Amino acid sequence: MVKDALKFFHAYVNEMKEIGGENLPRAVSTKLGAKLAALYKEKGISDLTTALETAYKALGASTLIKKIEENTYLIKLKHSKKFCPIGGKSNPTSAKTIQDSICFPYTRSFLTSLFPESQFETEIKECIVDNSNSHCTYKLKVKKNLY
């Protein structure tokens, strides 16, 4: 059942890209990230690490968050198979689109909505969809707003 739902989701995303280009899934991802942040605020989740771990656990990933500099984290998500719940199996031609239109808009919107005093930058290091492994790794930079 879960596999069928994921296949439907991936087909749905592909149709969104075909109909509206990369901006349609980006807009939907941004809105969904903000909605998740609102739920987290209601539940009193106000710690960056807890927020990320909880969000990724819902996607079936084990999460390792390592602080590598004052405001920079290395985030590694490990899945049990070489399959991304968002992007599917390895498909290097669509990896950048998945990252730029779904993964990072969702993550940045989620974090910016949950922590409005900060801005977030993401930099992909490894991606399941891009190189057929069982983990995704990215660098997250947190910058405090100066207002």
Q: For residue range 18-47, what is the model confidence (pLDDT) as tens digits?
A: 776 677 788 888 998 999 999 999 999 999
Res 29: pLDDT: 87
CA distances from 26 to 30, 106, 130 (A): 6, 8, 19
Is the Cβ–Cβ distance between 99 and 127 less than 8 Å? yes
| R_g over Cα of the chain | 15
Please tell me which of 69-73, 90-94, 98-102 the model is most confident about, judged by mean pLDDT: 69-73
- Span 48-68, pLDDT tens digits: 999 999 999 988 889 999 999
Spatial separation of the C-alpha atoms in residues 33 and 40, rounded to whole Å: 11
> Cα(102)–Cα(136) distance, rounded to whole angstroms?
14
User: Which percentage of the chain shows pLDDT scores above 70?
Assistant: 87
User: Is pLDDT at 1 greater than 50 in this prediction?
Assistant: no
Pairing of strands 118-126, 72-78: unpaired
Greater confidence (71 vs 8) lies with 71
Across the range 117-138, mean pLDDT stands at 89
123 band by pLDDT with thresholds 50, 70 and 90: very high
pTM reported for the whole predicted model = 0.84
Please report the domains of the chain, with CATH numbers, ordered by start residue. Answer: 2-144 (3.30.1380.20)
Distance (Å) of CA 98 to CA 74, 89, 103, 128, 132: 20, 12, 6, 11, 14
The b/e string for 79-102 (b: 16+ C-beta within 10 A; e otherwise) is beeebbbbbbebbeebbebbbbbb
